[in-house]
Every structure is written in C-alpha cells, then in structure tokens.
Structure 1
Amino acid sequence: MNPLRIGILSTASIVPRFVNAAGTVEGCVVTAIASRNLEKAAEKARLWRIPQAFGSYEELIASDLVDIVYIATINSEHARYARLALEQGKHVFCEKPFALKPAEVRDLFMLARAKGLFVMEMQKCVFLPVVQELKRRIQAGEFGRITMADFSSSFDAGYNSWMFDASKGGGPLFSNASYSLQLMQYLFDSFVTEQTGLCTRADSPVENQFAAVMRMDNGLIFTNKTSTAADTVHVGYLYGEKGYIELPDYWKARRAVLHFKGQDPVVLDYPCDFELRYELEHALSCIRAGLTESPAMTEEMSVRTMETLDALHRMWNPAM
C-alpha cells in the first residue's frame, strides 16, 4: 500500500512538530511544504528534509505530489485554503480553529462529503493516550458524577505579530480555548449550551486574557482562563463526587493524577516524544477506511465549538 502524501501549508512553529510526528507514523510521508516566500519554503524544506518546496499555497494545493493538505496557516486563512484544497480533490487536515464562523465549518464538511474527501480539525488533545484512559475511567464511574472543571493556561504571543490582529483571528480565545472545549465535549459526549465571560485588552484590539464559564447540556460547569499577559499554572482539574482529576498541560498531556478521598494519589504516565502522532494516526486510518468525517473529532464538535467561541467573541466585540 502506497503511503499517503502530505503537503504542508505554512512554516509556522507547529510545523516541525507535525513533521517529526509524521516521521513516526506508518503509511504517510511529507512530500511538500509551501510558504508565500519560496526562499523561506526551500530553507525549511532542507531543514526538515521535505523533498519539494513551493512559493505559494496555491501551487502546493494544485500539485500532484500531494494527497492531503495540512493547513497550519494563520487562523483567518483556514477556511479559505481548506475549501481550495477540497475543490482540488485533496483531503484536509486543518489546525484549530477549523474556521472563524460556524457556517464556514458546516460548508466545508458539506463540500467534503460531496467530493468524497476526508476533512478533520486537528485537535491533538482528544487523541492523547492519557485522555483515552480518563474517558474510560469517567464512563466507568470511578469519580462518580463529575459536576465542575477548571482549566488555565498562558503563552507568549509576541513571536507572532498576527496574534494581535483581530482581522487575522488573533487573540487567545480563537487560538487556545478550543482545547478545553473539545476535551470536555469528547470526555462527556456533551455540548456547551451556555457561555459567558470577561476579557481584558492591552495595546491591541484583541483580548490579551480571558476568563470564560461554560455550562454543558449534561449540567456540568467548567471554566477556561487563558492569558498572554501573565504566567498561569498550566493544568486542568475535573471535580467529581468521589474525587478529582489533575491534568497538567491538558492540551498536550502525558500524565494525569487521580485524587480519591482518603487515598494516595494515583499517577497515570503516558510518555511520548511527539503528541501530534495520535491525531495523525487516527486521521490516516479514517482516510484508509473511506470516511469523510472522523467518528471522534466530528463535524458537530467543530461546529459547536465555533458557535461557543463566536458567541464569546461577539459578546466582547459587539461592533465587529
């Protein structure tokens, strides 16, 4: 069976992590990379040992060297290039957020079905081995009913100037909030029905930090606090009747600590070199099976996530 050939749009900071992950996965090979600057694309192709470099995204998408287009561009360009790739007969792996409007997400999945092509939002946290184990334990009732959760994270946005540009989908809401949203959707097979929150801004039109509260249709309430202005603890907590889960670096978790009343903590360790490999393995298996949509990272998950993020964004930016 010939390996599926992947072409990468962008030379963003996540790209070498994806390339390294792909190098550990059977059945795929990275054959091309594109930047809007051919010299930059060629430099990164040499560095990451990718055979072909292109000086435009459109050239890569049209190339017969590529079966799958992995989109790692700035947020505002995801939907545009996902559509172009599907129209050119390519499967699509798109970094989160899949698009900036719920209707765009629906349209892209509809197009993929019409073309018989696979499309998926690349949400790594859903496929991590430790998350798989936590879902099994939650469903088995080890923690009783989980009623509340809390997530916090922070990062330095200074290395990406577009992160301060509202027209490009900048700000931590669109860039990071989907981790906790989609993790909770996946763990509990439930969706957010109500959201509220507050944000602050510095010297740019986008938020530099936010605190959001969400209620799910199973009654569970959870918070997400993300900042580019302060250093926070990078951890998620899920609180149940019989104990609670501590999930360090929840968006790329390799371990979880289980706390039960009156017992010593239980540590679950799942070390890995490249956490993106699990989402990639899943997506490739879906293509091999002839699917147009992942049974885990579904269209509904991507749409409902964007509905929540869009509602918060409009709450904080009523004039936009």
Structure 2
Amino acid sequence: MVKNIVILGFLCLLACFVDSRPSEDKPKPFKWGLVTAGNVSHDFANALGTLDPEVHQVVAVAGRDLERVKQFAQKFEIPKAYGSYLELAQDPDVDVAYIGTINPQHVELTQLMLDHGKHVLLEKPLTMNEKQAQKLIAYAKEKGLFLMEALWSRYLPSFQYVREQVQRGALGEILSVEAELGLDNMQFVERAIKKEFGGGTVLDIGVYPIQLCQWIFQQAPTSIKAAGKLNDDGVDLEMSAVINYGDNKVCKIRTSFTTTYKNGATIVGSKGQITMPLFWITTSIIDVDGTKKTWPLPKPKYDTNFMNSAGFRYEAEAVRQSISEGKLENEVASHAESLQLARIEDEIRRQIGVRYPQDD
C-alpha cells in the first residue's frame, strides 16, 4: 500500500514537471493583428496557416471596409474584425501588427500601433524616405518595441543558402551582381503609378534588387549612377542603376512597369557564379558547381495572389523568435540595413527626378 502511494506521488510530480516545462516544448502563442484586408495581407494570413497554429495565431484584422474585413475574417477564421485601425491597436490580445497598407500610410499606422504597445512587421519600403525611416526607427526604440521592414526574400531558404556560399568563399571574391525585375502588368495598378500612393518602381519593386546587392556586398556603396523614365504623374515607370562598391565591385540593376524581364539575378565571383531565377521569390538556384538546388514551399490552404508568397512564413517565424528573445530588431533585416536601403532609394530617386510630398 505504502509502495503504491509512493509510486503515485512520483507520477504526480512527474506530470507536474512535464506540464510546467519551458517554452521550447510549449511555445507561448504569438498573436498577430493584420492591418488591412488586402491582397498582401491575404497571402500573409495564408502563409501563417502553414505554421504551427498553436504558435502563430491571427486574432484580429482591420480595414476601412468593414464588410470586406468580415469576409476576410470568416475565410481565415479570425475571431475579430474591425472597421478601424485604432480598434485593432487597442486590442490587448494582439502582440504584433503586420502592416500591408500603401506606402504613404506606413509612418502613421506604425506609430499608432507602437503607441498602443504593438510590435510591428511593416511591408517594404519601410517608409517613403530615409528621413522618415530614421524617425520611425527611433520612435520604436523609444517605445521599446520591435520593428522590422518585411524584406521577406532574405528569409527564404534559397537566399540563406546563397549568403552562406558567399560567406564561406565558394564563389571566391565577389565581383558583380546583376538583377532585373520588370512586371508590365503593374502599369495598370493605380497604387503603383500614382504619386499620392507612393508609386514608382524604385519604392515598389526596386527594393528587391537593391537589397540583393546589399545582401551580397554587405557595405555602403561608394557611388551610384541612375537613369529612369517617368510618367505624367512624376513617378518612375522604369529605372536602371549602376551601384559601385569600390575595388571594381559593381551591382547593375533595372526595374520596369512597362516591360516584363526574365527577372533573374546573377552573382559573379572570381571562382564562379550563382544564378537565381525569379530571384526575389526564388525557391531554386543554379549553384556555383552548375547543379540546381530547390527548396519547395509548403502548400497553403488557399491560392495566393503573389507567386511563392507562402514564403512569408519564414520572416514571420523570424519576427516571433526575435521578439521572444527580447530583441527590438532582427539581424537579417536590421534597422541599419533599412536605413541604408532608404538612402540608396533616395539617391536613385534624386537622380531620376522622382520627388514625393514626404520629401519636403
């Protein structure tokens, strides 16, 4: 009898220990709030659905068209649908806000979320210019909250692998990067071609080849020479730039809303090269030894609006890990990196003559 009681007591203690094991076995649920119910938020919610539902949970979505927001919430089984961004900011259940609005709204909405204690993952570009980026990053630090520009490409396994190859010297000394991104259908998308919406290739898609240059060279450019073609509203429909990094290291990029390019990138070193087809969304590369390497993405529940956007899952998990460790930024898309990207974008826009009201 006594022996049975002892065994029972031991089992109870063991059960209590198991139930109280730390976060590595039972991570704390990470609760997302989506700011807007547009196409990019759709794909972000879809990508979160490929992660552990006990860890990543979308608890609220907000937008200005409440009926549309309710339909969005029903589709993704999100418990709360709000007709204003303030309501989401005030929701105590939301840990982090994902902001996918048009560019000119980034600063105001990020500050709103920070004012109410929310961490923020903000779609690229972080802001309209470097001046705004500096102020927004400083504001997030003042609040003691996490802020990150959604440079999602960098978190893809393909990008991580390329960076590792560069770091370990598989390509030798990096000599050049060439990247192009042209999407002719964008010339019909109002947010992409109107100045009031922060349109233009530099801010909309230019960040992809620019950040690739920075991802590879990991230093500030020594000089930039750019040219572009503007529409009647004063935003760029085409852009080309040569970004020099000194010691004959150069990055050549081009973007277009009027022509669809092959949309690949090539990284050339003294020992060989790596080719990245559809580089900003790539799940496969041609490695330095000529072999093709592929990293398939999980299939989300719904069709996506943007190709391979299930890859958003990787940046979402990086955000969770950083916040759980008490960090205010993530090293892969750091504050310093966002400031450098904004600085390059500003200089390219200056040279081709694109100026927004936010620049004044």
State the TM-score, normalized to the length of structure 2.
0.83
Q: 2:160 aligns with which of 119, 125, 132?
A: 132
Using the alignment, how far apart are the partners of 1:118 and 1:111 within structure 2?
Answer: 11
Report what 2:225 is aligned to: 196
Q: Report deviation, 1:118.
A: 0.8
Using the alignment, how far apart are the partners of 1:102 and 1:218 within structure 2?
Answer: 27
Contact map agreement 1:191 1:217 (CA 8 A) in 2: no
Cα shift readout 1:174-225 (whole Å, capped 9, x = no counterpart): 0111112222322332233322211113444211111111123675211221
Q: 2:297 aligns with which of 272, 276, 301?
A: 272
Letter in structure 2 aligned against 1:76: P
Q: How do residues 254-273 of structure 1 correspond to structure 2 at under 5 angstroms?
A: 254-260=283-289, 265-273=290-298
Structure having the higher strand fraction is: 1
Q: 2:346 aligns with which of 285, 301, 310?
A: 310
Report what 2:9 is aligned to: none
Using the alignment, how far apart are the partners of 2:294 and 2:126 within structure 1?
Answer: 30
Q: Report deviation, 1:308.
A: 0.7
Using the alignment, how far apart are the partners of 2:231 and 2:187 within structure 1?
Answer: 13
Using the alignment, how far apart are the partners of 1:115 and 1:218 within structure 2?
Answer: 41
Cα shift readout 1:227-268 (whole Å, capped 9, x = no counterpart): 1101110100111112111101111110110245xxxx2111
Q: Secondary structure at the match of 1:14?
A: helix
Using the alignment, how far apart are the partners of 1:81 and 1:267 within structure 2?
Answer: 42
Letter in structure 1 aligned against 2:321: S
Report what 1:234 is aligned to: 263
Q: Secondary structure at the match of 1:5?
A: strand
Change (3 A) 1:179 1:160: same
Using the alignment, how far apart are the partners of 2:58 and 2:313 within structure 1?
Answer: 13
Contact map agreement 2:170 2:288 (CA 8 A) in 1: no
Letter in structure 1 aligned against 2:209: S
Change (3 A) 1:47 1:158: farther
- Determine what percentage of the aligned residue pairs are the same residue: 27
Q: Could you tell me which runs of 5 or more consecutive residues in structure 1 were left unpaired when the two chains were aligned.
A: none
Using the alignment, how far apart are the partners of 1:92 and 1:202 within structure 2?
Answer: 33
Letter in structure 2 aligned against 1:268: K
Q: Secondary structure at the match of 1:94?
A: strand
In the alignment of these two chains, the number of paired residues is: 316
Q: How do residues 29-68 of structure 1 correspond to structure 2 at under 5 angstroms?
A: 29-68=57-96
Using the alignment, how far apart are the partners of 2:177 and 2:312 within structure 1?
Answer: 24
Q: 1:91 aligns with which of 119, 128, 131?
A: 119
* Residue 249, structure 1, aligned to residue 278, structure 2: yes
Report what 2:202 is aligned to: 173
Change (3 A) 1:247 1:14: same
- Alignment RMSD: 1.8
Letter in structure 2 aligned against 1:299: H
Greater alpha carbon shift after TM alignment, 140-149 vs 67-76: 140-149
Q: How do residues 109-148 of structure 1 correspond to structure 2 at under 5 angstroms?
A: 109-148=137-176
Letter in structure 1 aligned against 2:297: C
Structure having the higher helix fraction is: 2
Contact map agreement 2:103 2:128 (CA 8 A) in 1: yes
Contact map agreement 1:184 1:190 (CA 8 A) in 2: no
Between structure 1 and structure 2, the one with the greater Rg is: 2
Letter in structure 2 aligned against 1:9: V
Change (3 A) 1:51 1:217: farther
